[in-house]
Amino acid sequence: MSGAPPELEPGVRVGRYRVVSELGRGGMGGVWEVEDDAGTKFALKAPASGVAAPAMVTQRFAREANAVRLLDHPNLVGAVDVFVEAGYLFLVMERVVGRTLTKALAPGPLAPRRALVIARQVLEGAGHAHAAGVIHRDLKPDNIMLVERGEPGNTWETAKIVDFGLVKLVGDAEAAFGGGKLTSVGIVFGTPAYMAPEQAQGHAIDGRSDLYSIGTMLFEMLTGRVPFDESDPMKVMRMQVKMPPPRLDEVEPGQPWVTPELVALIEGALIKAPADRFPHAAAMLAALDDAFLSLDRIA
């Protein structure tokens, strides 16, 4: 029962859901598309270990399930159900159909206004999570889904934060669901290219670490590259800690859309010391709105 996700074939019933297809699996678990008796589609997730196994992955999965259940925001993937069956813990989530920000960036940088709209939605979702005591700590383009809404000829894009597998709980959320046992100072979690300096050093983190990651994603959306682009993860982590990030106006010299407000937004998010960074998502949102309005002044 431990070490691998459950085997769920199409047509099998799990709880009150019928398995439609497998969406993916890996060392941490598996994800399936399921539907209820009304035909509504959901995503079903299970860890690689059964609930009886003393595996860290199962404990982390339980924490992820509890964390997602705390959240209710249009820019966050929604939790629908949590249950145990056949010795496995299952998390049922909103089925998000779209493409990742990674795929959207494959052709190159995004238009500045589009990049700012996406970043704003990610900030809104992250701010809601932070207020509930939930720190994502792995915000990156792979974990941002872009969903097309509306009707043909009148569509818009909604960004949704997904995959809370590395979530950290703080405050009341940690008191309710635990967290200290699974997170030790000196242990590094996350993705180096998007990791805040304090995270790369294994120090204590809070919502400001997520803001650093969002600033990194915004830089990438605007320029087509991350601030520290190296193949060696350890070198990237050292750069996150010690090297000043490149300035937006130096990477994109002469571009009329590189306004002082936009430069200040990126710099404010990528400050090394958390105490000097934007203190919370609301402050970064205010700076983002200033940057967005500054684009209107471009001749």
Could you report the per-residue pLDDT of 19-40, keeping only the tens digit for each?
A: 999 988 765 678 899 999 999 9
Same-domain pairing of 69 and 104: no
- In this structure, are residues 89 and 81 in contact, taking their beta carbons and an 8 Å threshold? no
Same-domain pairing of 62 and 183: no
- Strand 168-169 and strand 144-151: the pairing is unpaired
The yes-or-no verdict on residue 175 having pLDDT over 60 is no
Which residue would you say has higher pLDDT here, 70 or 159? 159
Same-domain pairing of 111 and 125: yes
Tokens of 244: 């000043």
The yes-or-no verdict on residue 173 having pLDDT over 50 is no
Instruction: Taking residues 262-283, report their average pLDDT.
Output: 98
Total structural domains within the chain? 2
Same-domain pairing of 182 and 274: yes
Same-domain pairing of 76 and 193: no
Q: Please give the share of the chain, as a percent, with pLDDT higher than 70.
A: 83
Q: What is the pLDDT of residue 183?
A: 47
Phi first, then psi: give them for residue 219, nearest 5 degrees: -55, -45
In a 13 Å sphere around the CA of 113, the CA atoms on its Cβ side amount to 6
- State pLDDT tens for residues 100-142: 999 999 999 999 999 999 999 999 999 999 998 889 989 999 9
Query: What length does the chain have?
Result: 299
Asked if residue 249 belongs to a domain, the reply is: yes
**What CA–CA distance (Å, rounded) separates 101 from 267?**
22
**Residue 82 neighbours by CB under 8 Å, 6+ apart:** 65, 66, 69, 89, 90, 91, 92
Say which of 36, 138, 206, 232 is annotated catalytic: 138
Same-domain pairing of 64 and 188: no
For residue 275, what is the domain's CATH number?
Answer: 1.10.510.10
- Domain with 35 in it: 13-94
For residue 46, what is the domain's CATH number?
Answer: 3.30.200.20
One-letter amino acid at 225 equals R
Q: How many other C-beta atoms are found inside a 10 Å radius of the C-beta of residue 158?
A: 17
Same-domain pairing of 89 and 141: no
Q: What is the pLDDT of residue 182?
A: 42
Same-domain pairing of 240 and 268: yes
Asked if residue 241 belongs to a domain, the reply is: yes
Same-domain pairing of 66 and 135: no
The yes-or-no verdict on residue 251 having pLDDT over 50 is yes
Asked if residue 7 belongs to a domain, the reply is: no
Q: Please give the share of the chain, as a percent, with pLDDT higher than 90.
A: 62
Same-domain pairing of 66 and 146: no
Can you give the pTM of this predicted structure?
0.87
Asked if residue 2 belongs to a domain, the reply is: no
Is 37 one of the annotated active-site residues of the chain?
no
Instruction: Taking residues 208-237, report their average pLDDT.
Output: 96
- Could you give the angle at the alpha carbon of 101 between the alpha carbons of 277 and 140, nearest 5°? 40
Domain boundary among 72, 94, 116: 94
